[in-house]
A and B are shown apart, each in its own frame.
Chain A
Amino acid sequence: MNPVGRGIRNAFRNGVRTGAIVIILGLSIGLSLTMLVAQRAVENKIKSVKSSIGNTITISPAGFTPGSDANNALTSDDLAKVQKLAHVTSVAETLTDRLPTTGSSAPTFGKFGTGSDGGSSTSLTSPITLNAHGGGMGGERFFISGGEGGSLPADFSLPVSFIGTNHPANLTTDYSATIARGAQISGTADSNNALISSQMAVKNNLKVGDTFTAYSAALTVAGIFNTDNQAAQDTVIVSLAALQRLSAQGGVVTSAVATIDSLDNLGNATSAVKSTLGSNADVVSAQEEADNTVAPLNSVKTVSTFSLVGAVVAGAVIILLVMVMVVRERKKEIGVVKAIGGSNLRIMGEFMVESLTLAVLGAVVGLLIGVVGGQPVTKMLVDNSTSNTTTSTQFQRPGGRTFAANAEPNGGFGGRFDAGLRRNSAVEGLRNVKAQIGPGLLLDGFGAAVLIAILGSALSAGLIAKVRPSTVMRAE
């Protein structure tokens, strides 16, 4: 019988007690593992959110308020300066506008209702209808948050969005749109070529090469794209220069996304852009945006980290108390072993094996708990913390163009190419945290058990060292 064998055998001296200890330890280790699973899952999600958002900086006019005429404009000249900054590889500029369908009545909600030049209209009709959800005429279900609500006339149809961009490819990527017919337009040429969605094409009976009217000019359908993005379906994409000319907003840009050569330079580049544009613009780096997005997950991570540490400590305290009790109980026996030539280290080793045995058995029970509890606990923690923040996140974005994000899903009314909108979906995505329960968990469980056993035996080792061999001479 070697010391390991003796240690293991000693763990089973008192079967009932061993059983009770193993169950309690199992609960504590199970909780540790559950928290570890949650923490890993959240950490992975944070990583993937951060890496998916990428190394970009979003620039929008400062204090942009929908419906206000006092908004600062961002200009292509400003952005040209940004383009010249170190580490900036490209600046995708966009100008958004919307036009009512010729002949339709429109409610008044400021700038967004009629477009900035007033009086302009388009021959296109939006493919998006208001009562698609079964609401009656007048669109009872239509919800405008943030705008001054107006009553909707009977012949109302949603305005059509126009977006001018110098990087049409970025835009179609944002939409997950694919060019189904025709070709991508050029972002640099000032031509009247336009991209429309297949829904728009069907609604207005248009095919590639057909023309339609907007801003009293004839625009040519150069390409038709497919997209599931509701917001994109009633949007016409033209080059930036074209929309600036057509809408008589020379040099004006409503938002821009600067791409930085590497994530490492993002912080510096963001400061540089901020100082270049001054108070003219709101500058938000993808980093900050990612940070805001994952903020609720970070709190989950904190909670799970504390619980993990707490559970490990609880397990260690359990073992500690048990081992102290056991050492006191076997004081005489320890004295005997010392009297017949056993060293402190040997005896401590035996007790260590005993506490390890208890901890490993606890880990087996804990592992079962971790496997069963990992996913539901992760989901619960993530759901709780993200649901509190989803709504507020929507309105955090400067520029307020998220204001329609609360509209009925089918409404697609309001801001489109907007990071805020994307972020909402990112927050939804956050809920989708997958707890991974793999073979790594076995190692973690074993690691936790070893850690708990070592921490828990520390005090008993001290007690063992203090047992004097002469205690064996005492009559009991």
Chain B
Amino acid sequence: MLEVKNLVKTFRSGDTTVIAANDISFSVPDGQFASVVGRSGSGKSTLLSLLGALDLPTSGSIVVGDRDITKMRDHELIGYRGRSIGFVFQSYNLVPNLTALENVMLPMEFAKTPKAERIKRGKSLLQEVGLQDDQMGRKPGRLSGGQQQRVAIARALANRPQLILADEPTGNLDATTGKMIFDLLHSLSRKEKTTIIVVTHDLEIAGKTDKTFHLDDGRLVSNNRS
């Protein structure tokens, strides 16, 4: 269970204060596939960074399992990000100087998984996301956008996280590829029983998820199916 209570995040830039998350409360049961929709600048990415402990909220709490991540110390946050969360970004964000396989193995290295196991799991994950063997040794620059996002999904799954946070994972892809990537995300999370929260513009995609959150100007306006 993911439980968010009275989450507030404000950014101060010069004289103006932006309230990017304005008293947001919701919960997502384990294994659910939820989506977040809203206009650009409505606070979707901010919400994901708070859930993924990439940033600390101004106030409010985020309880994952039985732990409030807003009260964690720095080293605990690093562990939480590495082991409990899998990120998928719009711009893939693979490490450019590492091969596809090395990118997938990196979070496992941080989690101190033995090397042999890292290689084994890395290869099988890449196979699952549909990467060919000869593409595993390539660096991201020599892979297409869709292939890069497949690698990113494999990397997000590497440490068997409780929660996958995907920020517009299909935003840079054409419609067909985007749909394939979304289906992949969907089926893998089903298989691994992972909770997924995906930010999207695509209402068709959002319609396929278990739950949709609408954000407007930092506020959660509805958590019904649209």
A-to-B contact residues, CB < 8 Å: 1-2, 6, 9-10, 13, 332-333, 336-343, 346, 468-470, 472-476
Contact = CB atoms under 8 A, between A and B. Distances in A.
Contacts of A341: 78-79, 81-83, 107, 110-111, 159
Interface stretch (B49-57, B143-151, B175-183, B184-192): B49-57
Contacts of B96: 333
10 contacts: A13-B97, A332-B93, A336-B93, A341-B81, A341-B82, A342-B110, A346-B110, A469-B49, A470-B55, A473-B49
Contacts of A470: 49, 54-55
Interface in B170-210: none
A2 B102 CA distance: 10
Nearest to A469: B54
A340 B106 contact: yes
A1 B54 contact: no
Interface of B: 45-46, 48-49, 52, 54-55, 75, 78-79, 81-83, 87, 89-91, 93-98, 102, 105-107, 109-111, 155, 159, 167
A336 B95 contact: yes
Given A338-B81, A472-B93, A6 B98 contact: yes
Contacts, number: 72
Contact of A468 (B55, B75, B90, B167): B55
A475 B45 CA distance: 10
A-B residue pairs, 8 tightest by C-beta? A341-B82, A341-B110, A470-B55, A470-B54, A469-B54, A473-B45, A470-B49, A340-B107
A326 to B, nearest CB: 12
Nearest to B55: A470
Contacts of B81: 338-341, 469
A333 B91 contact: no
A473 B169 CA distance: 12
Contacts of B95: 333, 336-337
Contact of B54 (A13, A342, A472, A476): A472
Given A6-B97, A10-B97, A337 B89 contact: no
A1 B95 CA distance: 13
Q: Is the interface of A mostly helix, strand, loop or mixed?
A: helix
A475 B105 CA distance: 25
Contacts of A339: 52, 54, 81, 87, 93
Contacts of B106: 337, 340, 342
B87 A472 contact: yes
Of A2, A338, A346, most buried by chain B (CB within 10 Å of CB) is: A338
A333 B139 CA distance: 14
A475 B91 contact: yes
Given A336-B93, A469-B55, 13 more contacts: A332-B93, A333-B96, A336-B94, A336-B95, A338-B81, A339-B81, A339-B93, A340-B81, A342-B78, A342-B106, A469-B54, A473-B45, A473-B89
Contacts of B90: 475
A148 to B, nearest CB: 85
Contacts of A332: 93
A340 B82 contact: yes
Contacts of B78: 338, 341-343
A311 to B, nearest CB: 31
Contacts of A476: 91
Contacts of A10: 97
A474 B102 CA distance: 24
Contacts of B83: 341
Contacts of A1: 98, 102, 105
A341 B86 CA distance: 10
Nearest to A476: B91
A89 B141 CA distance: 84
Contacts of A472: 54, 87, 89, 93
Contacts of B54: 339, 468-470, 472-473
Contacts of A2: 109
Nearest to B77: A469
Contacts of A474: 45
A1 B111 CA distance: 15
A338 B90 CA distance: 17
A456 to B, nearest CB: 20
B99 to A, nearest CB: 8
B201 to A, nearest CB: 13
